[in-house]
């Protein structure tokens, strides 16, 4: 005789108390193309997890399934013990925030306004409060401005609050995206290629920032082609190839797995050339 559903649920919750994101057997098909094939991944509270894989492996598609942008063809995603809500903005409210491969800031808004947009998912003000500038709206605005300023400082953007985001240097725009994501008060932050286009110094600063974010108690899931960055940063790494998980485990295990080396370089016997070896800091798709 089977166990009552409530009891079974309770057992699962007790066993996996700190599993924040739980993707089970996710498959995403576009017509005849299976972009993600039966991928499972868990992210625990306070953990930094990396998702790697050659171009076209399905990383971004999988991210889109995790953030409610795509509904998986098969499989299931739960966040904080509940099924993922059907709309991305509801997912944000549940505590998951992301950045995109291509920067998506509001270019004609200042840095601080961009961060404040992130906060609106949390504020209580409604349209009537705002139009008539009722006291609740004014109070919230003052608190939001202060908080936005703190977030800008946290990501290392001091003194640029009034600068239009399009006038910020590239590396700063990437930080601003992270500040805006943090403004939604997430439990989990998903970063899609956060160091793309960055110079080595900016990449190091991005690494420090992600450690600082984890130290706040957040979990981070990051897609990245820069292997040195990933293996320095992540507690655990999952490598996707042609839509499926090839290897998953602690960074040093994944880094030295011949199948991963083969997926990136093409042949396990290929000698790792100092300048082009993607597992030692090169860029896989360069
Ligand atoms: N909306 C879509 N419609 C049809 N095919 C798609 C769609 N999005 C992605 N694909 C295909 O799915 C596969 C996986 O793409 P995806 O962008 O997820 O890979 P990726 O690992 O993120 O690659 P990259 O590292 O280049 O960003 C590719 O073959 C891509 O062409």
Q: CA-CA distance, 149 to 84, in Å (whole number)?
A: 31
How high is the pLDDT of residue 13?
47
- Residue 272 inside a domain? The answer is no
264 located within any domain:
no
Look at residue 274 and tell me if it is in a domain: no
Please tell me the distance between residue 30's alpha carbon and the centre of ligand 1 in angstroms.
10
Give me the residues paired with residue 68 across strands: none
Q: Which of 160, 185, 210 finishes a domain?
A: 185
Inside any domain, residue 280: no
- 28 with 81, same domain: the answer is yes
78 part of a folded domain: yes
Q: Which of 61, 98, 264 to mutate to test the pocket of ligand 1 (most atoms within 8 A of CB)?
A: 61
Asked if residue 91 and residue 233 are part of one domain, the reply reads: yes
270: nearest Cα among 259, 262, 278, 279: 262
To test the ligand 1 pocket, which listed residue (57, 226, 245) has its Cβ within 8 A of the most ligand atoms? 57
Contact, 101 vs 196, CB < 8 A?
A: yes
CA-nearest residue, atom 14 of ligand 1: 58
Q: Is residue 91 domain-shared with residue 208, that is, in the same domain? A: yes
- Report the distance separating Cα 2 and Cα 93, nearest Å: 35
Q: Is residue 135 classed exposed, middle or buried when 0-12, 13-18 and 19+ CB atoms within 10 A define those classes?
A: exposed
Q: Is the CB of 66 under 6 A from ligand 1?
A: no
The pLDDT score that the predictor gives to residue 227 is 86
CA dist 126 and 28 (Å) reads 37
Is there an atom of ligand 1 within 6 Å of 53 CB?
yes
Find the helix packing angle between 170-182 and 111-119, rounded to 10°: 20
From residue 261, give the alpha-carbon distance in Å to each of 51, 135, 274.
15, 60, 14
Same domain, 19 and 83: yes
Together in a domain, 218 and 81: yes
Both 64 and 170 in one domain: the answer is no
CATH number, domain with residue 198: 3.40.50.300
| Nearest of 246, 244, 237 to residue 26 by alpha carbon | 244
**Does residue 54 line the site of ligand 1, with CB under 6 A?**
no
Give the Cα separation of 63 and 69 in Å (integer).
8
Same domain, residue pair 160 and 211? no
Distance CA 264, CA 101 (A): 20
Question: Rounded to whole angstroms, how far apart are CA atoms 160 and 226?
Answer: 28
Centroid of ligand 1 to alpha carbon of 163 (angstroms): 34
Using DSSP bridges, classify how beta strands 219-223 and 48-52 pair: parallel, antiparallel or unpaired.
parallel
Domain count, the chain: 2
83 found inside a domain: yes
Provide φ and ψ at 283, rounded to 5°: -110, 125
Is 37's C-beta closer than 6 angstroms to any atom of ligand 1?
A: no
For residue 57 and ligand 1, the question of a CB distance below 6 A is answered with yes
Based on the fold, state whether residues 206 and 176 are members of the same structural domain.
no
**63 lies in the same domain as 136:** no
**Do 90 and 164 reside in the same domain of the chain?**
no
Helix/strand/coil (H/E/C) assignment for every residue in 121-169? CCCCCCHHHHHCCCHHHHHHHHHHHHHHHHHHHHCCCCCCCCCEHHHCC
Residues 66 and 152 in one domain: no
Please state, in angstroms and rounded to a whole number, the distance separating the CA atoms of residues 16 and 43: 11
Residue 157 confidence (pLDDT): 93
Identify the residue whose tokens are 């039966």.
Answer: 38
Helix (H) or strand (E) segment spanning residue 12: helix 5-15
Asked if the structure places residue 238 within a domain, the reply is yes
Give the ligand 1 atom nearest the CA of 58. Answer: 18
Q: What is the pLDDT along the chain (286 residues), one digit of tens a residue?
A: 455 556 655 554 444 558 999 999 999 999 999 999 999 999 999 999 999 999 899 999 999 999 988 999 999 999 999 999 888 888 999 999 998 877 788 888 899 999 988 887 666 555 566 666 666 777 778 888 899 999 999 999 988 888 899 999 988 999 999 999 999 999 999 999 999 888 899 999 999 999 999 999 999 999 998 888 999 999 999 999 999 999 999 998 998 898 988 887 664 444 444 344 445 444 444 3
90 shares a domain with 216: yes
- Print the domain residue range for 53: 1-95+187-244
Inter-residue contact 69 to 88 (CB < 8 Å): yes
Mutate to test the pocket of ligand 1, among 33, 241, 283 (most ligand atoms within 8 A of CB): 33
In a domain, 255, yes or no: no
Helix (H) or strand (E) holding 213: helix 200-215
59 Cβ inside 6 Å of ligand 1: yes
- Ligand 1 atom 6: residue of nearest CA: 30
Is 56 a pocket residue for ligand 1 (Cβ < 6 Å)?
A: yes
């Amino acid at each position: 005789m089977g166990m009552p559903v409530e009891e079974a649920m309770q057992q699962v919750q007790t066993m996996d108390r700190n599993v924040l994101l739980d993707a089970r057997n996710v498959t995403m098909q576009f017509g005849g193309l299976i972009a993600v094939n039966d991928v499972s991944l868990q992210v625990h509270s306070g953990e930094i997890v990396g998702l790697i894989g050659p171009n076209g492996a399905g990383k971004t598609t999988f991210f889109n399934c995790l953030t409610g942008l795509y509904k998986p063809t098969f499989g299931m995603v739960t966040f904080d013990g509940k099924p993922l809500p059907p709309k991305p903005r509801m997912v944000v409210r549940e505590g998951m925030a992301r950045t995109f491969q291509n920067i998506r800031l509001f270019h004609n808004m200042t840095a601080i306004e961009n961060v404040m947009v992130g906060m609106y998912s949390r504020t209580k003000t409604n349209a009537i409060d705002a139009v008539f500038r009722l006291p609740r709206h004014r109070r919230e605005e003052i608190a939001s401005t202060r908080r936005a300023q703190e977030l800008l400082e946290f990501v290392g953007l001091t003194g640029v609050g009034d600068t239009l985001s399009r006038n910020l240097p590239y590396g700063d725009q990437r930080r601003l995206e992270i500040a805006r994501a943090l403004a939604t008060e997430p439990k989990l932050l998903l970063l899609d290629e956060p160091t793309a286009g960055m110079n080595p110094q900016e990449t190091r600063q991005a690494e420090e920032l992600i450690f600082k974010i984890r130290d706040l108690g957040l979990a981070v899931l990051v897609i990245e082609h820069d292997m040195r960055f990933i293996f320095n940063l992540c507690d655990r790494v999952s490598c996707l190839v042609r839509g499926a998980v090839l290897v998953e485990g602690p960074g040093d295990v994944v880094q030295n797995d011949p199948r991963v080396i083969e997926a990136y370089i093409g042949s396990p016997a290929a000698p790792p050339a100092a300048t082009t070896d993607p597992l030692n800091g090169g860029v896989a798709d360069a």
